Amino acid sequence: MSEPGTQPLEQGTPWTASVLTLFPEAFPGTLGLSLAGRALERGIWRLEVADIRDFALDRHRSVDDAPFGGGAGMVMRPDVVDAALASVAERPGPLIYLSPRGRLLDQELVRELAAGPGVRLLCGRFEGVDERVLEARGVAEVSIGDYVLSGGEVAAQVLLEAAVRLLPGVMGNAESPAEESFERGLLEYPQYTRPAEWQGRAVPEALVSGHHARVRQWRRERAEELTRERRPDLWRRFQQAAAGGRDTKD
């Protein structure tokens, strides 16, 4: 995906999400709740949703047709989708089609998107979108995981939720993002709160010791342990990055 963030966000200009979908009623959905919802109300980011059927060329508002070569299902028409994409051509941010064959959405990509002026998201349905319009418009494809959904609306909300929470002013504690999973190449350490003992299970002694160095060490060790056990792929990358850092210092 090229130029994921394009230009940085101008001061005073809200980060803008432009969404093209056959189900505009799906938005804001969960994006209207909690951190993202409060940030939307405060104008930190803006959500614009357009119904792809509004760009249909017939009175039946048809947006799909049978695939060439045969096969099950229908395919979204390139002329209709192109007209919809043209309507957001002047909106900020990269143009993204939510697709299981796209680049995997990870925290690195989320940070890139959050650092830009916004995103333009195309939510597909049926068997997908005619390839020609994706090629003609230079649409990037992004996947939220190795599974198939009925459409791109849920995937779009996942991407937006992940990006919006990183926008300045959205999260109350500025340190929170740095402590979360993936931000340092590791999964997040376990969390505990009151009561100190529950059903015979006590909070780890290091966390109630009052010694900040012990707390930091315990959290680091648990984060490494969890990553090593549950995500060996992340653990290998973390070790390689650490080794590379040592080589640089040497």
Amino acid found at 40: L
Q: How many CB atoms lie within 10 A of CB 127?
A: 14
Q: State the pLDDT at residue 248.
A: 37
Q: How far apart are CA 109 and CA 158, in angstroms?
A: 13
- pTM for this model (two decimals): 0.87
Q: How far apart are CA 6 and CA 14, in angstroms?
A: 15
Q: State the pLDDT at residue 250.
A: 36
Q: What is the mean pLDDT of each run of 10 residues along the chain (250 residues)?
A: 44 90 98 98 98 96 96 96 98 98 97 98 97 98 96 98 97 66 87 96 97 97 97 95 65
Q: State the pLDDT at residue 182.
A: 82
Q: Is 154 helix (H, G, I), strand (E, B) or coil?
A: helix
Q: Torsion angle, CA of 138/144/148/150, rounded to 10 degrees?
A: -80
Do residues 5 and 118 lie in contact, with contact meaning Cβ atoms separated by under 8 Å?
no
Q: Is 155 helix (H, G, I), strand (E, B) or coil?
A: helix
Q: State the pLDDT at residue 236.
A: 96
Q: State the pLDDT at residue 172.
A: 75
